[in-house]
Amino acid sequence: MFARIATLVSAGLLIGMLVPPPVTSLADSPKSAVAANGLVKVKSAYGMDETIARLKADIAKKGITFFAQIDQDKLAAAANIKIGPSVLLIFGNPALGTQFMLRNQESGIDWPVRILVYRDAAGTVWAEYTDFVWTARRHGIVSDDAPFKMANEVIASITSSVR
């Protein structure tokens, strides 16, 4: 009996070494990885203002419509709450985004596209967005991954401007 338990434990340890652990922190990830909640975090090499400027410039360069910049820290401060630097950028390409809504209109809750730029307690600036394949799956969209993969390529390209 002991030998069988030891064999099972050994097999479990071997499998554990072969299967990579789930991503729990994207801070040390060499490439962008999708967290369990669908978020992709990109560590910026720049401060808040430069990160935002670079992202907006790349969005404009790609001809993507920029809708709004929301300074969440400023809004919080108006309510006497301190959250730290946090800015939401809202933009999109209707020709691509509506591909989701054609398949499931409820997916409109996730459009237009958003990138959250924030500085954490350690002073690191992040650009964070939702993975589009994850968004498609969230809404039960499985008919065509091509638009979602393209959307991921575009946003990865945009956020690469701050790496």
pTM for this one? 0.79
Beta bridge partners of 130: 39
Asked if residues 82 and 121 have their Cβ atoms less than 8 Å apart, the reply is no
Asked if residues 93 and 127 have their Cβ atoms less than 8 Å apart, the reply is no
Say which range, 5-9, 57-61, 99-103, has the weakest mean pLDDT: 5-9
Q: Domain map of the chain by residue range?
A: 26-162
Q: Which residues contact 115 (CB under 8 A, 6 or more apart)?
A: 55, 88, 89, 91, 127, 128, 129, 155, 158, 159
Helix (H/G/I), strand (E/B), else coil: 34: strand
pLDDT beyond 50 at 105 = yes
Q: How many CB atoms lie within 10 A of CB 54?
A: 21
Q: Which CATH class is domain 26-162?
A: alpha beta
- State residue 32's pLDDT score: 62
**pLDDT tens per residue, range 56-99:** 999 999 999 999 999 999 999 999 999 999 999 999 999 888 88
